[in-house]
Amino acid sequence: MSSSGILLLDKPQGWTSHDAVARTRRLAGTRKVGHAGTLDPMATGLLVLGVESSTRLLTYVVGLDKEYLATIRLGAASTTDDAEGELIGEVPAAGATAIDPAAIAAGIESLSGDIEQVPSSVSAIKVDGKRAYALVRAGEEVQLKSRAVTVSEFELLGSTAVDGYLDLEVRVVCSSGTYIRALARDLGDDLGVGGHLTALRRTRIGPFSVTDAGELDSVDVATALIPPADAAARLFERLELSEQQAIDLGHGKRIEVDAAQRGSTPTSALRSAIAPDGRLVGLVELRGADGGVGKSVVNFPSDAVAGA
């Protein structure tokens, strides 16, 4: 059986997230591999994969905030809101380069914070049971509903004039479910010149950074895996168990948690329950008026050992 753990990959351009999972399955020698959030083939950057029982942790990674570096091209919209689509509504030559920098700053500001965003029509959102992108490719018109998202940081890093277009290099930190392509589209619309995405790189998901990720064509899965206990401890405060507590939790029993074990986070938050040998026993929720009772929400089998 393959070891369990979290694998960080730096996805190259042209690969789908499914391609990356399929390759990892072959390298790890197991079918039990999943990912926490896709990247378009055009995009590069961080994919967080789970191997064996650590796929159970992916549920808690998917909804974390994300950071991206992107290039937004002003001067033309696109049928897909990115460089893979057909350009539409191009402005006259040099029109985009004449935009007042103050107007760009105001446009970015208006797309920051808690906003309502209409996802790109070529997204993976399902409409009547079918993916929106599949409907678009079949020639159907798709109207998606707006959704609440949070863009906590939208930073302009620089700009370059390219053949009459204006390329904006930006950094975005946002909630799960935010479409960077839609930010490019909406910024271009707000400025009256059209906009689309020409490059996208995901640099972070929650506590996981692309700087720690391996290359897809050279990664050694066995040595690159983050052990389950270490991965869970990045996501949740640690709950150090006694030997008996570890046994009881493994058998589905509730445990008594004294004040010294409870830590500083709210009692409603999950803890990563770690056995004395470093094994991740499970994710535990503290209950009771004082948080003195621990109940396992997710148990991990014996493949989830430290350094397995």
- In the structure encoding, which two tokens stand for residue 201, read together? 């790189």
* Cβ count near 99 (within 10 Å): 19
Helix (H, G, I), strand (E, B) or coil at 97: helix
* Beta bridge partner(s), residue 42: none
* Cβ count near 43 (within 10 Å): 24
Catalytic (active site) residue 40: yes
Question: Catalytic: which of 40, 82, 248, 303?
Answer: 40
Which residue intervals of the chain are DSSP H helices?
17-28, 59-62, 101-110, 132-137, 180-191, 221-224, 228-235, 243-250, 259-262
Phi and psi at residue 303, in whole multiples of 5°? -75, -10
CA atoms within 13 A on the CB side of 27: 22
N- to C-terminal Cα distance for the chain? 11
3-state helix, strand, coil in the chain (%, to 5): 25, 35, 40
Q: Pick from 159, 205, 201: which is nearest to 180 by CA? A: 201
Distances (CA, A) of 14 to 19, 24, 85, 144, 212: 10, 16, 15, 26, 21
| CA pair distance 195, 223, nearest whole angstrom | 42
Residue 30 Ramachandran class (φ > 0 left, ψ -120 to 50 alpha, else beta) = beta
| CA pair distance 23, 229, nearest whole angstrom | 25
* Residue 87, amino acid: L
Catalytic residues: 40
